[in-house]
């Protein structure tokens, strides 16, 4: 079941429209309803923090997406430590909301690209003078260049501007890079490369 906790009828309506055919959807509008709801690890939960305080959140026992007005990395990190699997802007595009819920269903983490990029740039660089990793040798020159810019924390748009290619081409290169390296996402690739 997909449980949506929000007092924003527009957001609730969007969730029902987007996911109502795939999942049994339930809307909760009071924090007490959320706390009293029998939630299992098989459920998925979307919580709009516009309608409750972070400290009032119940224990996270199922895949959970937290929506906020302005996502910030410090709050994202606090919520990830509490077990939240997805975090984003409550006004995100429908496509991003789909991605976030798909990530929840598949056991992955979903964060806004700006936060992922900040996390990547915060990773310490590997100081050792290692030879190129064998798993990188399969990349084409353009894929290696995309990977290099990604590790530097650039977004798809910024990578496209640096390389004079479209965002769609950047995404195609990233798909190929992930397939060749076995990495699931940007953060995993950046972590392995750094």
137-188 tens-digit pLDDT: 889 999 999 999 998 888 999 999 999 999 999 999 999 999 999 888 888 8
**CATH number of the structural domain spanning residue 6:** 3.40.50.2300
User: Containing domain of residue 134, as a range?
Assistant: 123-193
Check whether residue 136 and residue 42 sit in a common domain: no
30-52 pLDDT per residue, tens: 878 877 888 888 899 999 999 88
Under 8 Å between Cβ of 67 and 46: yes
Task: Count CB atoms within 10 A of the CB of residue 84.
Answer: 22
Under 8 Å between Cβ of 146 and 170: yes
pTM, two decimal places: 0.71
d(CA 171, CA 16): 29
Under 8 Å between Cβ of 88 and 106: no
d(CA 194, CA 11): 39
């Amino acid at each position: 079941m997909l449980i949506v906790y929000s007092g924003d009828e527009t957001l609730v309506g969007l969730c029902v429209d987007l996911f109502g055919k795939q999942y049994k959807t339930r809307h909760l509008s009071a924090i007490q309803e959320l706390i009293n709801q029998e939630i299992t690890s098989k459920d998925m939960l979307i919580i709009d923090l516009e309608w409750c305080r972070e400290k009032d959140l119940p224990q996270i026992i199922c895949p959970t997406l937290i929506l906020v007005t302005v996502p910030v990395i410090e709050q994202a990190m606090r919520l990830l430590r509490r077990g939240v699997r997805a975090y984003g802007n409550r006004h995100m595009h429908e496509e991003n909301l789909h991605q976030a819920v798909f990530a929840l269903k598949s056991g992955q983490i979903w964060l806004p690209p700006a936060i992922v990029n900040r996390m990547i740039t915060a990773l310490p660089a590997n100081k050792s003078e290692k030879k190129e990793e064998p798993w990188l040798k399969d990349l084409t020159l353009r894929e290696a260049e995309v990977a290099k810019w990604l590790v530097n924390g650039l977004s798809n748009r910024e990578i496209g501007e640096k390389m004079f290619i479209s965002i769609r081409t950047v995404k195609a290169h990233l798909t190929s890079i992930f397939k060749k390296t076995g990495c699931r996402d940007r953060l995993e690739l950046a972590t392995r490369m750094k």
